[in-house]
Amino acid sequence: MKTFSPAMARLPAAGSVYLTFDDGPDEHWTPRILDLLAHRNILATFFVVGRFALEQPELVRRIAAQGHEVGNHSWSHRHPWTLSPEAARLEVRDGAAAIADLIGQEPVFFRPPHGRLRRSMLEEMERGGQTLVLWDRSAVDWGPLGRASGISRRLKAVQGGDIVLMHDGGRGINRPGELVKVLPQFLAQLRQHE
């Protein structure tokens, strides 16, 4: 029986908070978020989509150069359950290859699109030496609930040990513009609780 390494969905250290941004890079929102993080000297993981990364290579290099982790969020962000096992495997492989080509190192973390997996994705992720990272706290910065007031309320509930899901990619239903309105206050709150 094959077993898979466990997913990371919460930090073992209760005092730390792990900030993550998905679906980028985005030429408009990612630089703004990077500037806000730099202002507070806070690091995060950016789970980038491979094909978007190749469209914004300098932005991906900037993420890495500023000390942030660049994680694999697949090649095209297609929902895994709509893919054949082989196509799902290639999403992991090709996303990782795009990142490695841009920053010169393989990603160590993988987050599946929509938080959904296929067994072939887990196998490819492990073959590439990547750790699965999910989340236990979401800003819900998308769709009709993705308004600044709601995002702010959800982020105020973040506690030590949380892995926080946010979005820098502005495609589809994501609303990074609403997130950016409240992110400075949230980052200041994190610094106060250190």
Domains of the chain from N-terminus onward: 18-192 (3.20.20.370)
Query: What is the 3-state composition of the chain as percent helix, strand, coil, each rounded to the nearest 5?
Result: 45, 15, 40
Q: Just list the catalytic residues.
A: 22, 167
Local mean pLDDT, 10-residue blocks, the chain (194 residues): 52 80 98 98 98 98 99 97 97 99 97 95 96 95 97 96 95 96 96 70
Strand partners, 124: none
What pTM was computed for the model? 0.94
